[in-house]
Amino acid sequence: MIVLHLPLRGGLIAALIALTVNSAATAQDSAFGGFVRQPLDGPAHNCITPREHDHVRDLLAAYEAAHGPLSAPEPSSSSLLYPFWPQAGYVYGDLFSGLFVDQDPSSGFRDYSCRDFTYNTHAGIDCGLRSFAEQMIGVPVFAVLEGTVVATQDGFDDMNVSGKNNDANFVIIDHGKGRLGYYWHLKKNSVIVTPGQPVVAGQQIGLTASSGYSFGPHLHFESRDLPDYTVFDPFAGDCRPGDSGWADQEPLNLDTYFVDFAFTYEDLFQHDPLPYEQPRTGQIATSDGFIYFWMIFANLPPGSTWRNVFIRPDGTTAYDSGDVEFGWNYFIRQSGLFFYWWIPDMHTITGRWRVQVYFNGALMTDAPIEVVVERDPQFNRPPEPISLRFDPPAPTDADAIFCRLDTDLVLDDLDYDVVRYEYTWRIDGNEVRRVTSAGHADAIPRGLAPAGSVVECLVTPSDGRTTGTSATISAVVGDAGSNCSGEEKLKARCREKRGAYLLKAKISGGAPGATLTFRLDERPETDNAQNVNNRGKAVAKFNGLTAGEHAVEVLECGLRKNVTCE
């Protein structure tokens, strides 16, 4: 075996591999190929440039002159817990959260988990799409909480791949209590809100793209606290101690998996690399040259190995590369990669072949491909069936309601087409939203579906030529004010914080999706509404308390707990 690593244009790295077949093949056959890595991360950079920050300050000053002051910080900000990631899709599914807030005040960098998934001074969270193909279909961005739009910008190019000092399309929302949310890199002409407009959680504000200082389509979501525009990182961990800013923090995913994959007969050496749309096919002709298959993978440890196995239509093995080292001695958070192979039997034996790809001995995909004498331009199969679920599972009138679909990231379409989904929402039979998106989820705003109404989500997948089987789900919307399971247990504790005390109240055993109101010392002005997460838990925090005894209540459930701060 000979492996040569060669640099190519655009940062690509090729490994040319000469391999002979194992004993499963006939003696006169031979196979050869190689792989090329397509790095997806650009150089260290900040998504919002100093010039743009100055421009934002000017826009906010103009807003205050026209509409009055921005919200003021308050001692208690627990009601600002973020209930969901504000993009249409699944984090660590069709979306990938690759970069976080830098917690290192020096010239070094580390994220909330003490890893290097960030850049120096990076102030937000980056969550990307798989390619520009999904961007062109559309992936909505939602307001994460209610608030007021205080600045917008739109009309700038949105397929940037080289950073530079480009202008971004964005929305900034004042979420109350001195918290600003920055939604950055949006699609050109997609911003559908204006300064001064109130918004609610789950309301669409734009589409994901790559405008501004960007190297690929993603949402940069940044939180800043007034009056000093202090960066707030909602993720809690070893290098960001304290309580999480999420109602239900997504665990960090370090598993190795494929984010996307496809076959092609086109020469990928001559094709623009990711994040540009890549060629895809469900058929390979016996007269084609190399067979190519490309992928986006996540979380590859140093010293990793790969293995490709080609299986004939009769189930026998035509070629098995065995385990081969990549030759990389560093952790790769996410990257593109393509293999190219000459497999002699694929030029003579027609039918459904399978290609198995292993990383570190684990099967990443078992992908079918049709080998034919001549490709049929009309050949096409519809997307695979999907299933749906609501998030939260038991929605109430106080929730932004998500309709999430379950499908395979690789085998969602056996021709490897990019699938788009038409989401149709109805409340009591009346259509309230219809959108076509590449995202694996969609949402309707908080409060749109009243208590007692029937909310329905109908989703139809399509590859752009053929529609697949539709799926539907419905539920009766609960009343957040009375949705108490009767199994709730209330705990409370107090600890010193900055010369005062922080009281933390926690409900367990609650009904997922319910909204419960916490009240301190029988004072209505302290009311703090929290959603019960999928594990039946809800948490409220009260800051700036004095020493002594305090009482916390959960109004809907008639629960009360006394706690002494000392």
Q: What CA–CA distance (Å, rounded) separates 307 from 364?
A: 10
CATH number, domain at 273? 2.60.40.1930
CATH number, domain at 527? 2.60.40
Q: What CA–CA distance (Å, rounded) separates 31 from 190?
A: 49
Q: From the centroid of its chain, how far is CA 84?
A: 11
Residue 399 lies in a domain: yes
- Same-domain check for residues 361 and 503: no
- Same-domain check for residues 227 and 146: yes
Q: What CA–CA distance (Å, rounded) separates 500 from 158?
A: 47
Residue 237 lies in a domain: no
- Same-domain check for residues 321 and 446: no
Q: What CA–CA distance (Å, rounded) separates 175 from 180?
A: 6
261 vs 1, higher pLDDT: 261
pLDDT of residue 10: 44
Residue 481 lies in a domain: no
Task: Reply yes or no on whether the pLDDT at 294 is more than 80.
Answer: yes
Residue 250 lies in a domain: no
**Which of 476, 500, 519 lies at the terminal end of a domain, its last residue?**
476
Task: Reply yes or no on whether the pLDDT at 77 is more than 60.
Answer: no
Per residue in 426-469, pLDDT (tens digit) is 999 999 999 999 999 999 999 999 988 999 999 999 999 999 99
- Same-domain check for residues 344 and 393: no
Per residue in 148-169, pLDDT (tens digit) is 999 999 999 999 998 877 899 9
- Same-domain check for residues 188 and 97: yes
- Give residue 105's domain range: 50-232
- Same-domain check for residues 194 and 137: yes
pLDDT of residue 78: 56
- Same-domain check for residues 121 and 220: yes
CATH number, domain at 439? 2.60.40.10
Task: Reply yes or no on whether the pLDDT at 351 is more than 50.
Answer: yes
pLDDT of residue 74: 84
pLDDT of residue 485: 63
**Percent over 70 (pLDDT), the chain:** 92
The type of residue at 151 is A
- Same-domain check for residues 76 and 177: yes
- Same-domain check for residues 32 and 63: no
Task: Reply yes or no on whether the pLDDT at 4 is more than 80.
Answer: no
Task: Reply yes or no on whether the pLDDT at 20 is more than 50.
Answer: no
Residue 218 lies in a domain: yes
Residue 288 lies in a domain: yes
**Which of 412, 445, 476 lies at the terminal end of a domain, its last residue?**
476
Task: Reply yes or no on whether the pLDDT at 534 is more than 90.
Answer: no
- Same-domain check for residues 63 and 30: no
Residue 245 lies in a domain: no
Task: Reply yes or no on whether the pLDDT at 16 is more than 80.
Answer: no
- Same-domain check for residues 90 and 225: yes
pLDDT of residue 489: 85
Q: For 8-49, where are the alpha helices, taking DSSP H only?
A: none
Residue 309 lies in a domain: yes
Per residue in 476-533, pLDDT (tens digit) is 988 776 666 667 889 999 988 778 899 999 998 887 777 888 899 888 778 888 888 8
Q: Count other C-beta atoms under 10 Å from residue 373's C-beta.
A: 8
CATH number, domain at 167? 2.70.70.10
- Same-domain check for residues 17 and 86: no
Per residue in 375-421, pLDDT (tens digit) is 999 999 999 999 999 999 889 898 999 999 999 999 999 999 999 99
Helix %, strand %, coil % of the chain (to 5): 5, 45, 50
Task: Reply yes or no on whether the pLDDT at 7 is more than 70.
Answer: no
Task: Reply yes or no on whether the pLDDT at 541 is more than 70.
Answer: yes
Domains in the chain, number: 4
134 vs 76, higher pLDDT: 134
pLDDT of residue 479: 78
**Which of 347, 372, 397 lies at the terminal end of a domain, its last residue?**
372
- Provide the pairing of β-strand 454-462 with 13-19: unpaired
